[in-house]
Amino acid sequence: MEIAVRLTTAPKAKPDGTKLGFGQVFTDHMFMMDYNPEQGWHNPCIVPYGPLELDPATAVFHYAQAVFEGMKAFRAVDGRVLLFRPWLNLERLNRSNERMCIPKVDPEFVLKAMKQLVDVERDWVPSAPGTSLYIRPFIFATDTILGVHPARTYKFLIILSPVGSYYPQGINPVSIYVEPEYVRAVRGGTGEAKAAGNYASGLKAQRAAQAGGHAQVLWLDALERRYVEEVGAMNVFFHFGDEVATPELSGSILPGITRRSVLELLQSWGVRVTERKITINEVFHAHSEGTLKEAFGTGTAAVISPIGQLAWGDRAITINANEIGELSRKLYDTLTGIQTGRLTDEFGWTEEV
């Protein structure tokens, strides 16, 4: 499929690369294509970034049949532009599609389109430390019928946003609130998919956490409220004694690519890593025994985000004196080092645009 390109005649001024927030400004162009059962995915194009005109009955507004991905393009130290394990995002996109009854995309074609879009916007890839060009592919149902059923027609878009650190705190430790009542996902539900509706259902708990001065929510399992699942839109790791543990992929947890990369890095360093059930009680107990060394979240947006404080009901603990832990620091430096070409990419994780 040939990608039609129409370039803007009014390029925007680029933001100051040292003052970037997260997902606040968008580049000059976006990628779009359409789906219908007769033509499959068709009409691929790169066009000036701008609003879409949609019928009020468009299915996604009503029933949230939509999925997305989140990845980054990095400015390498030698000026190249690098993607990090993009195939894993595309595989996951198709798994999310499958769960949400959305037609699959051709990963090879989407990667080609993504690279072409990033290439058009190459000058938007920032170079200040900790910055990158965030890539947001997403797909939504566009049928204009109010019946509840999988749509016949869809739109796929990719938009780009130059970003700084996800949390204003950067890699500094954040305070996390263990959500006692609301749950994010249940086995058999859509928690494994990057489905838009998952995030809407998490907002209420996030608002309560933020009102209490915490950066994010730590979710417990939906059935027993005992097992740790994730932290906001990040997977979570605990360093207990000589073990680094993360919740096993139980069916309600999003399989993060940063999670997978952290597991692979730790294994390559000879660290004992386990994917298993972790109760919130175990975390607090380990803290009182003095064996909880570090806790951190992992995700594309924040990379590694150390947890400095954890509040659960009327109990609150400070982890590693609210400092960035040794392992968190090493993982952050290694991942960002590989992503920006500062370190040798021994695993073949990066792909040049």
Ligand X SMILES: *Cc1c(COP(=O)(O)O)cnc(C)c1O
Interface ranges with ligand X (CB under 6 A): 70, 194, 230, 233-235, 254, 256-259, 298-300
We find the least distance from the C-beta atom of residue 33 to ligand X, in angstroms, to be 23
- Which of 155, 259 has the CB closer to ligand X? 259
Residue 67, classified by CB atoms within 10 Å of its CB into exposed (0-12), middle (13-18) or buried (19+), is buried
Round to the nearest angstrom and report the end-to-end CA distance of the chain.
19
- Which of 65, 300 has the CB closer to ligand X? 300
- Amino acid identity of residue 347, one-letter, is F
We find the least distance from the C-beta atom of residue 45 to ligand X, in angstroms, to be 27
CA distance 294 to 274: 15
261 φ/ψ angles, rounded to the nearest 5 degrees: -65, -40
We find the least distance from the C-beta atom of residue 187 to ligand X, in angstroms, to be 15
- Which of 100, 234 has the CB closer to ligand X? 234
CA distance 59 to 39: 20
Contacts for 205 with CB less than 8 Å, ≥ 6 apart: 179, 181, 182, 184, 217, 219
> Which of 316, 276, 323, 322 lies closest to 178, judged by CA?
316
We find the least distance from the C-beta atom of residue 233 to ligand X, in angstroms, to be 4
- Which of 318, 337 has the CB closer to ligand X? 337
- Which of 120, 245 has the CB closer to ligand X? 245
We find the least distance from the C-beta atom of residue 23 to ligand X, in angstroms, to be 13
